[in-house]
Structure 1
Amino acid sequence: MRVLRTSSVRVLDERDRDSVQALLDADPVGNVFVGSRLRSGIDSGRLGAELWGYIERGRITALCYSGANLVPVNAGPGAIRQFSEHARWQGRRCSSIVGPVEVVADLWERLSPAWGPARAIRACQPVMEISQPSRIEADPHVRRVTPGELGILLPACVAMFTEEVGVPPDSGDGGSLYRARIEELVRTGRAFARIEDGRVVFKAEIGAVTKHACQVQGVWVHPELRGKGYSVTGMAAVVRYALAEIAPRVTLYVNDFNTAARASYRRVGFREVGAVRSVLF
């Protein structure tokens, strides 16, 4: 087992499974992303990332997922200090830092001299949750996307990503990794859309999934059709599918300045249960 340079942080493996799961289960909605990534195992080789553990008095009390995203879990000031030291020593490998607002603020303050500047900082992104079917009538035309419709869905996904993040997802490798991810979501039945005449009207995917919760991502309505209620009835349909077939709680996070989206989600029945901050590179 490889030990990091600081005695209070180490890379975790399958022997730590029970301790890791206990930390994740303490906040199944807030930790849905990390929990989903760890379903295939904790060992770095299988995970394609590292999971760092902060050790206090022989116990793992905090985690930090270090992959394409850097995501702290249950991290207090001591853990953030140690995680930032290792992250700075290792060098930036992630495309974003995501986590609770105050935790990420502390982490970024420590990392920014070495990693800065950030391309963008989303200072407050409300986390929303629903655990009952919406009272809004679901759009009957929203359904799972079939593998044969990948070519129709993908341009809408690219448009959503570019609009949301500020850069296209194919700017690095020509889009092969992003296409593979969308293809996986379609293949596993976690991509939903209303498609009319070969055009996506509404779409959303369910990215992270655990036995406790799932996280909706990529919500998008064609620009020519916005303001007509497609997002409300479409999300009601996605929630219906998710609660019936995927997980007992459905969550998402949204930019605080996106007042239209927040209002739509509230109409569906989502309630705000927390907030995250994202630092984008």
Structure 2
Amino acid sequence: MPAVLRRASLRQPRARQLWAGDSLAVDACLESSPLETVYLRSEIRQGALRQGALVGIEHPDDHRLHAVAMKGPLLVPWAPGERDLVALAGALRSQVRFVQLIVGPRDQVAGLQRLLASQLGPARLLRAEQPHYAVDLDGLVAWPLDPPPLRKANVGDLEQAVRAGAAMHLEEVGFDPLASDPVGFRQRVLTLIRRGWVHVWMEGDQIVFKAECSAVTAEAIQLQGVWTNPKFRGQGRGTLAMAVLCRRLLAETQTVTLFVNDFNAVAIHVYERIGFRRIGTMRSVLF
């Protein structure tokens, strides 16, 4: 290889497996975008680096990480630069046959879809535009009504939480996880309950409202699975519960974030009504 080409190749971004010893380098890569990378940062707190679940893109000229992704059935990228996104796609190419879901910033996920199209194949479900929202204490609208009996779910609530989660999944995604993966879905809900990340408003043995934390850091908490029982919709209960939940969570973190399907006008109205502001757009692709 001519010397000029060899020098050019040495300057190209390179991929490497990340481990626990890379925690400071990963933090430096992600810290400038704490809301967009909250899921990755939270998973690192839960042991993702020790488990070898992350890959990074390093620049030889500065020996810093410029992109990070969690790999496996759930692929979550953070690669804001096009050159790093291309390098990340190259690193993941041999592993994408295991990917079931890609979630992340819209342009990055769309870029990976384009770069890995022949390996990924057609998507089963595409949510191309998912508004990304955030609220902090300064932006949260004060709610004058008495707070509802919202609490953290316990293991005794597992079956109700599983049924509520499955109902929401069927409504939002179009298929029932209890039909496709009942054991795995129940285990995921149980894990969230044991972490104290599932919040419920119960009346008798019925869930009125449910929301889950999908990521928790000192800078942000990301919500998912926000659901109001259809029997109790149209009464303002979901709005009240979300306002109360956000106020409680903001005693533990600086910002609450979530993303929502762009066609869910009712949910978007609720979030904006209590003070959420749009900060970007996410994209989810199911295979």
The answer, yes or no, to whether TM exceeds 0.5 is yes
Deviation at 1:36, TM superposition (A): 0.7
Give the greater-gyration-radius structure (CA). Answer: 2
Asked whether the equivalents of residues 166 and 177 of structure 2 are also in contact (C-alpha less than 8 Å), the reply is yes
Asked whether the equivalents of residues 13 and 84 of structure 2 are also in contact (C-alpha less than 8 Å), the reply is no
Q: Which amino acid is 1:237 matched to?
A: V
Q: Which amino acid is 1:19 matched to?
A: A
- Number of the residue aligned with 2:167: 159
Deviation at 1:183, TM superposition (A): 1.7
| Residues 1-281 of structure 1: pairs in structure 2 closer than 5 A | 8-43=14-49, 46-47=50-51, 50-56=53-59, 57=61, 58-132=63-137, 133-137=140-144, 139-173=147-181, 175-244=182-251, 246-281=252-287
Change (3 A) 1:74 1:7: closer
Deviates more, 1:146-155 or 1:196-205: 146-155
Aligned length: 271
Asked whether the equivalents of residues 136 and 267 of structure 1 are also in contact (C-alpha less than 8 Å), the reply is no
Deviation at 1:231, TM superposition (A): 1.4
Task: Indicate the percent of aligned positions where both proteins have the same amino acid.
Answer: 38
Asked whether the equivalents of residues 131 and 282 of structure 2 are also in contact (C-alpha less than 8 Å), the reply is yes
Asked whether the equivalents of residues 23 and 74 of structure 1 are also in contact (C-alpha less than 8 Å), the reply is no
- Secondary structure of 2:98's counterpart equals coil
Deviations 1:173-209 (A, max 9, x none): 4x22221221222223221111112111111111211
CA–CA distance in structure 1, aligned partners of residues 180 and 161 of structure 2: 20
Deviates more, 1:220-229 or 1:30-39: 220-229
Q: Which amino acid is 1:152 matched to?
A: Q
TM-score normalized by the length of structure 1: 0.90
Deviation at 1:260, TM superposition (A): 0.9
Asked whether the equivalents of residues 129 and 270 of structure 1 are also in contact (C-alpha less than 8 Å), the reply is yes
CA–CA distance in structure 2, aligned partners of residues 192 and 202 of structure 1: 8
Q: Which amino acid is 1:77 matched to?
A: E
**Structure 2 unmatched ranges of 5 or more:** 1-11
- Secondary structure of 1:37's counterpart equals helix
CA–CA distance in structure 1, aligned partners of residues 36 and 55 of structure 2: 18
Change (3 A) 1:189 1:180: same
Deviation at 1:7, TM superposition (A): 7.2
Asked whether the equivalents of residues 69 and 96 of structure 1 are also in contact (C-alpha less than 8 Å), the reply is yes
CA–CA distance in structure 2, aligned partners of residues 78 and 98 of structure 1: 20
**Structure 1 unmatched ranges of 5 or more:** 1-5
